[in-house]
A and B are shown apart, each in its own frame.
Chain A
Amino acid sequence: MDGLSGKKPAVVWLLNISVVVLVALWLFPTLGLFVSSFRTSEQITSSGWWASLFPAEQTLQLRALDPDDNRIETGAGMFVVEGNVLEGDYAEVNIDRWGTSSRAPSAYTIGDTADLGDGESMTLNADGTYIWQGNDDQISGRGQRLFIIATVPPEFTTDNYKNVLFTEGNSEDMAKAFFNTLTVVIPATIIPILIAAFAAYALAWMDFPGRALLIATVVGLLVVPLQLALIPLLQFHNAIGIGKGYLGVWMAHTGFGLPLAIYLLRNYMVGLPRDIIENARVDGATEFQIFTKIILPLSFPALASFAIFQFLWTWNDLLVALVFLIDSSGETTVMTKQIVELLGTRGGDWEILATSAFISIAVPLLVFFMMQKYLVRGLLAGSVK
């Protein structure tokens, strides 16, 4: 491409624009969820999330202060109320036009004085301060209504997160599910790594009959759909008395993760320099020492790659948790299951759905962006030969 795109500006532009479109297309869905999780339920249902990113024109209906408490006599039976309509919630609002009746909410511009008849008047300034003048009769009862056509800046709230995570007795107990997920994921990531590392070393650097067959078996098992394992293993877990629970789900994840772990680690270990290992053997190191002192530290990138895969996979898993972990009590529910449940029961409550979903994808995204290097490396080791 460089023979061409490097030279002609038009092509460079086209290239940049098409990549921008592609990136936007891929980012847009996640962004929608992210933005929605910071909006109130009224905001979500009243406008599309994309509209919330830009200032929106709105008609606000406000009132001047209660005249009976706030009026000041200016002499000769005339009174005045001064104040600021934008105080409090509307501090950020930019007034475009305003009016004093619902029929003409945009009758005046900023700084105009509205004639309310019989000498009563209202003046509104850009900062929201107003002067409302009139006689004893006029400046009494309720405060004068003010209609303001205003540009409201984007407004976001973190209340959804507080609500979903910290509100006591919340039916959508995401906090509990979050910790359950964590409880599933950590052992299910660490244990297969250990088992696989030893096996991978044997398959990479030890010579024994049947080695080629074993490697072929591992490659074959890589693609065996775990759907096949559900019923036989559930029977097995029931037979040995662990039933549904954490122990079962840890063991299942370990078993299902092993082929990839062995495959990745073996591919990596085979590439380590032969000299180091042979020298260590000549110097009298035992295989166990070679493994722990030389191979394991050198294989760190491959270990990290697999750890990320397994972490993402176990964190995001629904099927294995449904079958091996979650019993009828629902005490051990994980986040993915919780969200599916919310989709069913509260499909319209987007503020809760979006927030819950975002909580569940925040951790993998964080891991993804921090460890992307290792993830890419692992993918390449696993696929490109």
Chain B
Amino acid sequence: MTTGTKAGLLFIGTVMTIILMAASVVYGYTDTTWKGVYDSFTSFNGSNEHIVVQTVRIPRALIAACIGMSLAMAGVIMQTLMKNPLASPDILGINAGAGFFVVMGLVMFGVGSNQSITWLAFIGAALAQFLVFVLGSAGREGLTPMKMTLAGAAIAAMFSSITQGFLVFNEAMLDQALFWLAGSVQGRNLDLLLSVLPYLAAGVLGAMLLAGKLNVLAMGEDVARGLGLHTGFTKIAASLLVVLLAGGAVAVAGPIGFVGIIIPHIARSWIGIDHRWLLPFSGLLGAILLLASDIASRYIIMPQEVPVGVMTAAIGVPFFIHIARKGGMSR
């Protein structure tokens, strides 16, 4: 595949993302038109339509795009880091860890400020990533990728059980916490996104800078070391990026599953395994997937909405099963 084709794919991805963001602003329960949306920017008149567009739809579209992008890129980095086709922030319990800390903060200490939610999510994600890292390298050669997936699932189950246990401590917070835990880009606060955005941006930027090193790491530990790569440093840097991207995403939207697992596979089959192309392309595809799922989620049981996490699970589970069945690493 030539560089031109790859650039073309990236371009198409960007265009698709922009179109879907626009569609996400226009379509939904409240009737709005393309013209109405345009007017709300040029001549805001305080009508219901304009208010919905400016305060509900636009934040929602922006959040879906950013979260989808972060989760997908975190998935790529994890899959390379763990050499595991099933690795992703949700399967290995990173999302659940971040969720656990946020709920604990909400329920036990009543913290509600955007900054503290963000930091709690980062701490939780970091703790879970650390557990995964230790389990992956403990023993003589660590766990095999498949067993690692199982261990991650157990960690995720543990965190989510304890999270649900914490919810009984504070009835008043239950609603807020349940809503957050459902994993959704709807009704989220734009300020929260803005306070997380610097970290997400740092994660994306860092991922792009690390892309070359990830290419080397993907060739295997021994080869990478032979080529003069500081594998230890690269792995720790990559883990930190996962924490930034996945933790930040969870802080805004709650745990949304399966974006981080499906997208890297699709992206790899289209654009190849060069991380310098794979990472941005995955980011775009992740944004596209989450935007499309979010738009679809408004129409399935109208006037109610399906949480977007349910939508991604509906698409993601068959895919997960396909990979699990295909896996040459059947052990």
Chains A and B are bound partners: no
